[in-house]
Structure 1
């Protein structure tokens, strides 16, 4: 499923530096609430759950049952144990769930890891109850804006990798083939970290990030130097990143 191998070292790095602090996800909480309309007793499939950041957030925010489906054993091992979160081995094209068993599907920064998006859309359609939504948190190459996407302003060569990700149109077409229609699309801000903190973490970040791992050593070092110079002029404010929330139903 993944473009990189999420072994123990990579999973630990992901857990350490890639999870967004819960305080930085307030806008996502409200955006998800608007489109999910959560209520007690609902079950959400978190597909490609990673280290469980959003699985645990859904539990805390909305008191929902979460089925955290993740192909990597190392990533699954990082998901905190909770009664409301059931951790399952599987991927988007082979979900270990019965037909019509979940009230929503959540995919966060995962569609670029899926080799056959149409097959995944059919499988997601199979497990959703009638009328249930798919919520996708993602950046799309045809909607990219370097001024709103942190930290790619410091690593412009990252466009070489992000340009290979599914576009918004390709994503909608793949899901349309499975009977989904686009219901909503909005850009949602998230507060990440200060530049100084990111500079301190960037080497670990690189081990867990598909995009930065695609850079050559020279490209990475040039970006790190741009970041170092920016830190000298930056204040203590937290940087904001923007990603799209695509809702299909």
Structure 2
């Protein structure tokens, strides 16, 4: 997957269009609470933190400190640093953090942006305390049929097909001693209605949508508008996987 570059305008658009509203993440909060056992005073390593939406959520939900690692300067500038969040310049393959500093690692929609999964696994093993979980939120090939983008822009399935599979991630992380302990498919509400979701979409903030032709993108938007007209009250609910490794 080619590296995505962001200027200040693109980073702001990403935050507006891609960060899931906190109220739409109830299932994710519950699953993380059950799987990670986070508590006040612990530290979470957020790898590929983007504009910090999940960094802020973890801090607010669990009272933890967050080390938010993000390589894009424009994205990193929008992370709400302070109050328990530190924004750091770095990549999954070379984390700018001390050994055994974190009680959990969060990788949200970044697996397909990591060039060397085995190197990232070694770095996470170094940075995590013994027994700490790696929490991976991603769309995986063969498991993305309930992703809203795949539903309305079926051509995006071609992009997803090139992402690392669950098995490939497990194999790469297995070289650093990690093993899968759970795999959950979880819902998230991106907008209260499909019409609101259509209004919110920004093509340039999404690697899947950027890969589409103009005609394919227009057809997808038309599908969303048609579905919204047929059921004005349908919420924009998408599903992604949460893979847990320890």
Do Structure 1 and Structure 2 share a fold, with TM-score over 0.5? Answer: yes
The offset of 1:122, in angstroms, is 0.8
Q: Contact (CA 8 Å) 2:43, 2:64: kept in 1 or not?
A: yes
Q: In the TM superposition, what whole-angstrom CA distance separates every residue of 1:94-144 from its partner, at most 9, and x where no partner exists?
A: 100111111111000010000111111111111111111100011101222
Query: Which residue in the other structure is 1:158 paired with?
Result: 156
User: For 2:99 and 2:239, how far apart are their aligned partners in 1?
Assistant: 34
Q: Contact (CA 8 Å) 1:70, 1:89: kept in 2 or not?
A: yes
Query: Which residue in the other structure is 1:192 paired with?
Result: 190
Q: Secondary structure at the match of 2:5?
A: coil
Query: Which residue in the other structure is 1:133 paired with?
Result: 133
Q: In the TM superposition, what whole-angstrom CA distance separates every residue of 1:149-187 from its partner, at most 9, and x where no partner exists?
A: 113211111111111100010011110011101111111
Task: Tell me the TM-score normalized by structure 1.
Answer: 0.95
1:237 corresponds to 2:223: no
Query: Which residue in the other structure is 2:79 paired with?
Result: 79
The offset of 1:236, in angstroms, is 2.3
Q: Secondary structure at the match of 1:188?
A: strand
Task: Tell me the TM-score normalized by structure 2.
Answer: 0.96
Tell me the C-alpha RMSD between the 2 structures.
1.3
| Segments ≥4 residues shifted beyond 6 Å | none
Query: Which residue in the other structure is 2:4 paired with?
Result: 4
User: For 1:179 and 1:129, how far apart are their aligned partners in 2?
Assistant: 13
The offset of 1:81, in angstroms, is 3.0
- Structure 2 counterpart of 1:176, from 170, 174, 191: 174
Q: Gapped runs of 5+ residues in structure 2? A: none
Q: Contact (CA 8 Å) 2:144, 2:240: kept in 1 or not?
A: no
Q: Contact (CA 8 Å) 1:3, 1:210: kept in 2 or not?
A: no
Query: Which residue in the other structure is 2:40 paired with?
Result: 40
Paired residue total: 245
Q: Secondary structure at the match of 2:183?
A: strand
Q: Contact (CA 8 Å) 1:190, 1:242: kept in 2 or not?
A: yes
User: For 2:143 and 2:157, how far apart are their aligned partners in 1?
Assistant: 12
User: For 2:223 and 2:241, how far apart are their aligned partners in 1?
Assistant: 26
User: For 1:227 and 1:237, how far apart are their aligned partners in 2?
Assistant: 11
Q: Contact (CA 8 Å) 2:228, 2:234: kept in 1 or not?
A: no
User: For 1:27 and 1:2, how far apart are their aligned partners in 2?
Assistant: 31
Q: Contact (CA 8 Å) 1:137, 1:243: kept in 2 or not?
A: yes
Q: Secondary structure at the match of 1:207?
A: helix
Q: Contact (CA 8 Å) 1:142, 1:168: kept in 2 or not?
A: no
User: For 1:206 and 1:144, how far apart are their aligned partners in 2?
Assistant: 19
1:216 corresponds to 2:217: no
Q: Secondary structure at the match of 2:122?
A: helix
Q: In the TM superposition, what whole-angstrom CA distance separates every residue of 1:29-69 from its partner, at most 9, and x where no partner exists?
A: 11000011012211110000001011000110000010000
User: For 1:2 and 1:190, how far apart are their aligned partners in 2?
Assistant: 27
